[in-house]
Structure 1
Amino acid sequence: MAATPLDLTIATPLDMVVNHEAAGSLRAEDESGSFGIRPGHADFITMLAPSVVRWVAPDGTRRYCAVDGGVMTVSGGRTVAVACREAIVGDSLERLEREVARVRAAQLDAERRVRVETVRLHAQAVRQMLRYLRHPVMPDGDEEIPAAQERGR
């Protein structure tokens, strides 16, 4: 009699990436290294390293999911749940690697644009403060005459 397959779920805050998929076995990686999970495994919880979770479906099909770290729990000897910030599923390691590289490049570009915009806003705020310090504006909207100019009147 074949063992009941694992029930695998991988979720991010915005999406259920893998939803109750049957897995005959699973490999993942935490700080201590790579490990395997098979039906009947003891209950446990671990922090996953950024890595690729791999599993084999009962029909022998291999599946992959790149995760950006996360928490994995095994319960009841058959339920495996992964909660992570980001996850990308793939049917081949080569395509998954290209997709992860594409997503990472897009993230780096977005981070660069945010840094540029932050510097631009900071410079604009400094210019505005300097403009105010040079020529203060009174509450009624009139410019205050600098003391040096007033003495010269």
Structure 2
Amino acid sequence: MSTADKMQVTIGLPGAPLFQGAAVALNAVAPNGAFGILPNHVDLVTALVPSVLLLRQEDGRERVFGIDEGVLVKKGHEVTIAVRRGVESADLASLDETVGALFDTMEDEERVARAALSRLEADMVRRFAGLRGQP
């Protein structure tokens, strides 16, 4: 395997990419603890836990992401991360507020969807019950 000074990183959500670009370092948290990856790190696959994911770009800029559970795959000089939910924040200090607002909104939307599904299920049961009584 050739050596490199950067790696291509993709962070994907179910509907769209959250980040795509080059990075010189990545820090994440797996179920067994925090770890770091540099461009020439050995290939690996690991689960990720809800945590802060940090990327350092070539210009020294650090990108901060709040992520939900997911999977990280490093193969060669490419790192692919798939997460259920995630958000980028300007800095670590504002991440808590950004993540809280996003996840609260998503939980409200999920609650509304579950209520609508429950109403549909109840209506279907009533209709089947009504069919039973017909000859």
Same fold (TM over 0.5): yes
- Once the two structures are TM-superposed, the CA of residue 80 in structure 1 deviates from its matched residue by 1.2
- Once the two structures are TM-superposed, the CA of residue 122 in structure 1 deviates from its matched residue by 6.0
- Once the two structures are TM-superposed, the CA of residue 120 in structure 1 deviates from its matched residue by 4.9
Query: What are the ranges of 5 or more consecutive residues in structure 2 without an aligned counterpart?
Result: none
Query: What are the ranges of 5 or more consecutive residues in structure 1 without an aligned counterpart?
Result: 139-153
Q: TM-score, normalized by length of structure 2?
A: 0.78
In 1, distance between residues paired with 2:104 and 2:55? 27
**2:15 maps to amino acid:** L
2:82 corresponding residue in structure 1: 83
1:13 corresponding residue in structure 2: 14
2:101 corresponding residue in structure 1: 102
1:44 corresponding residue in structure 2: 44
Q: What do you get for the CA RMSD once the two structures are aligned?
A: 2.5
1:25 corresponding residue in structure 2: 25
Percent of residue pairs bearing the same amino acid type: 33
**2:47 maps to amino acid:** M
Greater Rg by CA: 1
**1:97 maps to amino acid:** D
User: Which of the pair has the greater relative contact order for Cα pairs under 8 Å at 6+ separation?
Assistant: 2
Q: TM-score, normalized by length of structure 1?
A: 0.70
- Once the two structures are TM-superposed, the CA of residue 98 in structure 1 deviates from its matched residue by 1.6
Query: How many residues are treated as equivalent by the alignment?
Result: 131
- Once the two structures are TM-superposed, the CA of residue 100 in structure 1 deviates from its matched residue by 1.2
SS in 1 for 2:18: strand
- Once the two structures are TM-superposed, the CA of residue 87 in structure 1 deviates from its matched residue by 2.0
2:110 corresponding residue in structure 1: 111
